[in-house]
Copies of this chain bind each other. A is one copy, B any other.
């Protein structure tokens, strides 16, 4: 086998094909062989040179999507416009509105049977998303008077744990009805913490995404 001189190009091609197949067929119904078949001449050895398993490919696909999402989070965090609480609301709106969510919810990986994926989503939320993106916004809100808390670190973690993990219908395979109830409780919890973020548009969007997920699962 000829050595590939552009490994990052090969990885990009593998992830492009894998993303598309995960979306079309669903993660559970896509095999490594399917991915190879769509890579036009790439050998099994070449793919295993970069990824040890289908789960690792999923992780890389997810990481690439996370990197895109983090760029958007950073833009809102660093924007000169808006109070802390307005930025927090913008983050929620952006996160659920952006079109790539349709793709992600169509993947529908089964988190119940992918402990590594579930665990890495959980740790990423607590280790990176909360401290790097949400905490600075909460601190801005404390400074501009739009957010009141004595414990910004814990507040950032709690909000993201609940929003990213628990509200996500993919994590625990929630039905539309269950997700609706969770969103309502989330809104109530946020109000109790002094943050009125939720509007009807967001509730509708989350339940629509849940329906999409349930359809493709």
- Quick check: is A11 within 8 A (CB to CB) of the other chain? no
| A192 proximity list for chain B (CB < 8 A) | 188-189, 191-193
| A122 proximity list for chain B (CB < 8 A) | 118, 122
A184 adjacent to B150 (CB under 8 Å): yes
B157 adjacent to A166 (CB under 8 Å): yes
CA gap between A116 and B116 in the complex, in Å: 7
A123 adjacent to B119 (CB under 8 Å): no
Q: A112-B123, A154-B184, A192-B192 are in contact. List 13 more A-B contacts (CB 8 A).
A: A115-B120, A122-B122, A151-B184, A151-B185, A153-B181, A154-B181, A154-B182, A158-B182, A158-B186, A161-B162, A188-B193, A189-B192, A189-B193
Total copies of this chain within the assembly: 2
Task: Write the nearest CB–CB distance from A170 to chain B, whole angstroms.
Answer: 13
Contact partner of A157 (CB less than 8 A), chosen from B161, B182, B184, is B182
- Quick check: is A155 within 8 A (CB to CB) of the other chain? yes
Contact with B along A176-197 (1 / 0, CB 8 A): 0010011011101101110000
Can you show 23 pairs from A to B with CB atoms below 8 A apart? A115-B115, A115-B116, A118-B118, A118-B119, A118-B122, A119-B119, A122-B122, A126-B172, A149-B185, A151-B181, A151-B182, A153-B178, A154-B182, A154-B184, A157-B166, A158-B166, A158-B182, A158-B189, A161-B162, A162-B162, A188-B192, A189-B192, A191-B192
